[in-house]
Amino acid sequence: MSDTPVAVRAAEPFRFGLRSFARSAGLLSLGSVANLLRAVVTAKLFAIALGPSAVGVLVQLLNFSAFVSTIIPLGLTTGVVKLVAEARGDEEATSRVVGSASVLSVLSALAACVLPTRKATAVSPTVALRSE
């Protein structure tokens, strides 16, 4: 190994490459289109395999799941990012923010698990397509 220092290049100004942007946007769009096609094919296969009434129950469960997944995080991700950025370099403040967010996340997840269990017995026969 050589002990000679490595020459540091002068910082180049940021250049926005339209070609690079178009390529990235195209790849992201292609991924979105592929995801949409997958969803359409999956929905059709579920409709054929399960029938209309079971698909209705499945759609209701998926909508409820999407609704709950927006409520449970409590908007913590945005708030934590903002507070950690503001407390840059202050390890104590950062650890307090992360600790508080972790506790709130665990509590909201536990609430999401415990609260629906009272109704789970009434919903489960419908989901399993059994009449009891």
Cβ–Cβ < 8 Å for 101, 80: yes
* For the chain, domain boundaries: 17-50, 52-132
Q: pLDDT at position 2, please?
A: 52
Please say if the pLDDT value at position 14 is more than 80: no
Measured CA angle at 18 (ends 13, 23), to 5 deg: 120
The predicted pLDDT at position 30 comes to 93
Q: What's the chain's average pLDDT? A: 80
Is the full-model pTM beyond 0.85? Answer: no
The pLDDT tens digits for 95-123 are: 999 999 999 989 988 887 777 666 666 66
The pLDDT assigned to 33 comes to 93
pLDDT score, position 21: 85
